[in-house]
Structure 1
């Protein structure tokens, strides 16, 4: 993968970096670094505590209490129970200026941890009626600790800040018990209002090179939508298939036909797309042809127009196959999560900031990633930039690392200061530059 776009971004903003240095950004960077070093031990302690006591989506009571107590101790105005167990802390700088939001998500996953750590999670819970282990297998414990550390860094510099920082600690990023995700719920509860947010930054840990910052301008993470296809046939004895309409056979034909949507019908030279059939449910006995079958799909896209086109093709394919066999079909799509699209101008503007935070060679322009994130809802309300932080141990091969959501997912705490520094510097540089 070429690094040319990143080099062009850096060159384009060389003059801007010089101008910011004239404003005293170099001195501010040194002050941020001093404060990051002072808070690092706390960040590690918070991370271990949260990791050992994970909470499922919608159940983040202990974590939100820890966050709220910390923000209040820093002198911030704090709102709790925002969109569920969300917390919003408001830090008003010593001078007027824009409003920037920094976000971390707090929930854990129904995964039983297999990493042998002194602070390993042994928490058990119930998820969708089943007993499960609970683990921060996606690294949200790191996100919370990093943003708590960032709040402490910036609170100590508040007199120097021209503007306001909103610290947004979000519940239910992984799963919404109510059907409305944590980001949407927080927005509905006014998280980005009073005062209104001008820009938003977020961070996610990944099993990538230790301390590296990973991002890209424009689309980065995919939109995620589920679809349900219900096929209605006619039940009959397995020994007399001619007397019925075989929903299993129709379902199998629909699965096969759907493979052509991406491979033959969509121009994937522009951006990639994925249509996956993840579940096929039908029948209870070998000698009864059932009257119905249910297919459940996952759809990943990076372009809104392409997404709608794929929806139409899925519907047309399912209806056409079903009609050919005398079956009927219903196709529904959930609202899902939009693509995470980094605001191009904001990304270009903040690229030198990221290079100062992680080093020029420590910022990597990413390829497209087909995972999704509901941070995208915040980006629909304000220009946003979402970045990744590499948390692999130094010298380890990222290709051999356990991915996010694995029971073996591991984050090297030595990378966390880079996260605190990056989030702090993004906020300071944005406020200094104005809207």
Structure 2
């Protein structure tokens, strides 16, 4: 039994493109935060069932797994998309822009698909449509993984790839290899990746400080939390820029939130700061954790406060299997001829796709989605309130998914 021809895949991808655009716009206008993707999951399950694909719902809380068994026995390949949006206020001005608000960690926040997960879901539904239409010609099984909470579950909750794996997303049937595609601000239709380490590992940083409250006019009678916060930020930036060799292994320490106080004339008792750490090696990660703990504790001691730092929600480095990375280049060339780069730069972003790739061989790929009329220098990047993509690249994403699945199952 021969695998479906490239021409047949291309024609099917072109035919489903209007649906992919419609799915994306619908999901974009109705975004949901991590572990809250109820509407999105229902849409996915409905579309997969309509294609005759076996569906498991409620995997990893709100995740959906679809299983498409081909007409001939063979290996099992998985394709993964993430579903969650971010607490970002959309400023794109799109006719289908989000106006949604939701609750996140006790606060009411605006919600936006600022990282392209709406497009990931739409493209994987498109690939499922293409592959379901070729079911009898598929030599094996395709598993479609639609995952919640890639950006991390709310504090105190479990979620994301870790919970999907625990709930059996890679089992029944047992997956042999996994592929993922992530859209970004790169040149349109470009597919890029690199073997071995690609995306950084990440940890959520939470710093808590207990001081002594006082009147804003009498700072000497308490502990000045603003000064504590400033010193911690300066020390954190100094660690990342001056204490470790960034030429040996890149690393990033970012403090992104500072929460303290309620009035302009009260210095508060409590301070909470949060941020993120990105590294590419276990040794660098352990070194930065030790340096941060020593520095934060010492600053607290200097002011007479109790300061602590915790590192949670760890994501490992996204590691692309070397043999699979070498093999997949030819397959990707069919999806986007002349626009495949297999030596992409390291990415300091992180992805919990890495957890699937720890269990089975995997390759994670970036798809360029920059609109042609937007200069490279000013293109809004992922997590920007202005993030948007060229919808024409969805066809390339659908083909990449479909070709990777078909070619993997057909290869000897």
Q: Same fold (TM over 0.5)?
A: yes
Per-residue CA deviation, residues 95-117 of structure 1 (Å, 9 max, x unaligned), is 22221110111222333333333
Aligned counterpart, 2:145: 168
Whole-angstrom distance in 2 between the partners of 1:403 and 1:316: 34
Q: Please say if 1:361 is aligned against 2:339.
A: yes
- The structure number with the bigger radius of gyration is 1
Contact kept in structure 2, 1:51 and 1:121, CA below 8 Å: yes
Aligned counterpart, 2:74: 97
Aligned counterpart, 2:53: 76
Aligned counterpart, 2:282: 304
Question: For 1:113-124, what aligned pairs fall within 5 Å after superposition?
Answer: 113-124=90-101
Aligned counterpart, 1:14: none
Aligned counterpart, 1:4: none
Question: For 1:181-192, what aligned pairs fall within 5 Å after superposition?
Answer: 181-192=159-170
Aligned counterpart, 2:8: 31
Please report the TM-score for the alignment, with normalisation by the length of structure 1. Answer: 0.85
Aligned residues: 411
Distance 1:251 1:91, change over 3 A: same
Please report the TM-score for the alignment, with normalisation by the length of structure 2. Answer: 0.89
Greater CA drift, 218-227 or 301-310: 218-227
Cα distance, 1:191 vs structure 2 = 0.9
Whole-angstrom distance in 2 between the partners of 1:280 and 1:132: 16
**DSSP 3-state at the match of 2:348:** coil
Aligned counterpart, 1:313: 291
What residue ranges of structure 1 are gaps of 5+ in the alignment? 1-22
Query: Which of the residues 119, 143, 147 maps onto 1:142?
Result: 119
Q: Please say if 1:391 is aligned against 2:369.
A: yes
Q: Please say if 1:60 is aligned against 2:63.
A: no
Aligned counterpart, 1:3: none
**DSSP 3-state at the match of 1:58:** coil
Whole-angstrom distance in 2 between the partners of 1:185 and 1:210: 33
Cα distance, 1:255 vs structure 2 = 3.3
Q: Please say if 1:51 is aligned against 2:28.
A: yes
**DSSP 3-state at the match of 2:169:** coil
Whole-angstrom distance in 2 between the partners of 1:216 and 1:380: 16
Whole-angstrom distance in 2 between the partners of 1:324 and 1:51: 48
Whole-angstrom distance in 2 between the partners of 1:351 and 1:56: 34
Cα distance, 1:231 vs structure 2 = 3.7
Contact kept in structure 2, 1:219 and 1:340, CA below 8 Å: yes
Aligned counterpart, 1:274: 252
Whole-angstrom distance in 2 between the partners of 1:187 and 1:222: 20
Q: Please say if 1:106 is aligned against 2:83.
A: yes
Whole-angstrom distance in 2 between the partners of 1:426 and 1:179: 33
> Once superposed, what is the RMSD of the aligned Cα atoms?
2.7
Q: Please say if 1:226 is aligned against 2:204.
A: yes
Q: Please say if 1:202 is aligned against 2:180.
A: yes
Whole-angstrom distance in 2 between the partners of 1:255 and 1:44: 42
Cα distance, 1:382 vs structure 2 = 1.4
Distance 1:291 1:402, change over 3 A: closer
Aligned counterpart, 1:9: none
What residue ranges of structure 2 are gaps of 5+ in the alignment? none
Distance 1:76 1:398, change over 3 A: same
Greater CA drift, 142-151 or 213-222: 213-222
**DSSP 3-state at the match of 1:150:** helix
Per-residue CA deviation, residues 265-292 of structure 1 (Å, 9 max, x unaligned), is 2221122111123344456677766555
**DSSP 3-state at the match of 1:367:** coil
Question: For 1:218-297, what aligned pairs fall within 5 Å after superposition?
Answer: 218-233=196-211, 249-282=227-260, 293-297=271-275
Distance 1:314 1:120, change over 3 A: closer
**DSSP 3-state at the match of 1:72:** helix
Query: Which of the residues 332, 337, 358 maps onto 1:380?
Result: 358
